[in-house]
Each structure stands twice: as C-alpha cells, then as structure tokens.
Amino acid sequence: MLSSLSRLTANTRKTVPIISHSIRSIFIQTSETPNPASLKFLPGRPVYETSDDRGFFVQPRDTSAVRRSPLAASILRSSDGISGVYIGSDFVTVTKTEQVEWEEVRTGVFECMMDHFADPDAVAVEEDLELDEEEISDTTILDDDSEVVAMIKELLEVRIRPAVQEDGGDIKLVEFVEETGVVRVRLEGSCVGCPSSSVTLKSGVENMLQHYIPEVTAVEAVDDGGETVGVGGAIEVDTWASEKESKEREDDGKPKMTYEERLAAAGIPLGD
C-alpha cells in the first residue's frame, strides 16, 4: 500500500499493469495494487455514489454486508478464498487469502459484477442505503474537536485518503491520543495485509502529519477491536527532534502557526 501515497513524499511510482475484460457488454479493467493479495476492479461506471465519494470495507464476518452492499455480499459468497471487499465510488478492490490463486477467484468476481450491473438501479439502491445512515464520518470536523484533531482530519481527508484510495485501499481515523501524540488509524481494502503498509504509515502518513502538525508523535494501525495490528504498529519517534521543537513551538508548548496558517501551508482550501 505504498505507491500512490509515496508520491506525497517522492516523485517515483512503480507502474502497475491494467488488464481489461469485456463481459456481456460490461467492460471491466483490473489493476494490480501494491498488495499482491488485492486486485482493483474498475467497471467504468459508478459503483457506490455518496456525497463525499467515501467507500467502505466488508469482510466475511460482517453480517451487515447484504444490507450495505449486495455486490460486496455476492463477491464474498463467490469464493471461500476471498477475505475482504472494498467498495469504492467507481471501483471494487478484492482481497484474497494466501490459500488460493487469482485464477481461482477472478472469474467469480467478474460474474458477480456482471450480474450486479445488469440491474440499472443497482447503484441507486446503494445510494439510498447511504442516505439512511448518519452522515458523520471519521473525518467530519465536530464542534468539540481541538485544532490539532481538526487539522489531522483535514489532512487525512484532503491529502492522504485520495492517494490511498487510488491504490484500492482506505484509511480511517480512529482517534488522536493527546497525552501521547499518537494518531490511531484503521487500514482497509488493499492496505490490509499489504507488505508495504508499515512503510506507508512511516513514509507517507506519519511524515506528512508530523510535517504540518508537530503535536503528532506517531501513527499506529489498529484493527476493528482497537488492538494494534502487525503492519509496523506504532512508529517510534523517540527522536522527536529538539531542533524541530524549537522552531515550531513556543516556550509554552503551543505551535507558532495558527490553524488557518497550517491549512494554507498544507495546501488545503479554507472553508467558507
């Protein structure tokens, strides 16, 4: 889960092949992701329409899969070798287990998508389900959020999440622990089990957050239960440099830049 997000700190990107498949007038492309266990399927049409283009991740144990997305539920039922499905605005990322090869599951995914899009109202149905849910996401800025939390949410939503989603994954903010400065996030889609996830957290997410928000000391990936997962865990930042602290902090520990100045420095437009 490195390539797109790494462009936030580097200009190199590994080219990944795109394979096209035409099935019953539905033209579906598959694109490799940085995670060899995940493939991104692009049907060339909307998959899940929401106001903010935010998708969601479904695993076999998720009993709400059918209600949230008939397509995701169908794909999960198509093979025991599928461990997760991420439904994006215009793509689907499928993650397989180590026990199967892509040749064993790819055809079933194509058939599920073909059947799904044979219904002209398929996308609208999923859109209606979204409208029935509370429209507060992990990056919605709340009235009681501190400036630090608000800035973390802005950076995740505007700068980090789009890069992660381009590779078929997603990143959700769980919490910011003010006492320790640790940002806890949950990885989804192709990020789950990706060999480069720890590098993504360190070189992409953590570096960007620390660059604009000196209060952040580390980024930690957690699972649904809030337990640290094995993708590098909390990134050690014992050398939170005194030079950086002296430049970016006043004697009382407060950052020199205002919230608006931080947003401007990060290239994030100010709201009305």
At 158 the pLDDT is 87
Check pLDDT > 70 for residue 167: yes
Q: Which domain holds residue 243?
A: 147-265
Q: Is residue 94 part of a domain?
A: yes
pTM reported for the whole predicted model = 0.64
Q: What is the DSSP letter of 60?
A: T
At 225 the pLDDT is 75
Q: Is residue 127 part of a domain?
A: yes
Final residue belonging to a domain, choices 107, 131, 155? 131
Does 153 lie in the same domain as 184?
Answer: yes
Q: State the sign of the Cα–Cα–Cα–Cα dihedral 222, 63, 97, 84.
A: negative
Side chain identity at residue 69, one-letter code: S
Taking CA atoms, 25 is separated from 60, 87, 241, in Å, by 29, 22, 58
At 179 the pLDDT is 93
**Rounded mean pLDDT of 88-106?**
92
Query: What distance in Å separates the CA atoms of residue 188 and residue 202, rounded to the nearest whole number?
Result: 17
Which of 2-11, 84-93, 136-145, 203-212 has the lowest average pLDDT? 2-11
Q: Any idea what the CATH number is for the domain that residue 28 is in?
A: 3.30.1370.70
Q: Is residue 231 part of a domain?
A: yes
Query: What distance in Å separates the CA atoms of residue 157 and residue 172, rounded to the nearest whole number?
Result: 9
> Going by C-beta distance under 8 Å and a sequence separation of 6 or more, which residues neighbour residue 10?
203
At 65 the pLDDT is 66
| Residue 78 confidence class, pLDDT cut points 50, 70, 90 | very high
Total domains present in the chain? 2
At 12 the pLDDT is 35
Please name the residue ranges forming H helices in 90-196: 102-117, 122-131, 147-155, 161-166
Q: Which residue has the tokens 């539905």?
A: 26
Q: Is residue 138 part of a domain?
A: no
For the chain, give the percent of residues with pLDDT over 90.
26
Check pLDDT > 90 for residue 47: no
**Rounded mean pLDDT of 73-90?**
91
Q: Which residue has the tokens 């608000």?
A: 150
Check pLDDT > 50 for residue 60: yes
Q: Which residue has the tokens 């266990």?
A: 37
* Residue 153 near residue 265, CB atoms below 8 Å: no
Does 202 lie in the same domain as 156?
Answer: yes
Final residue belonging to a domain, choices 73, 97, 131? 131
The two tokens of residue 78 are: 């198509």
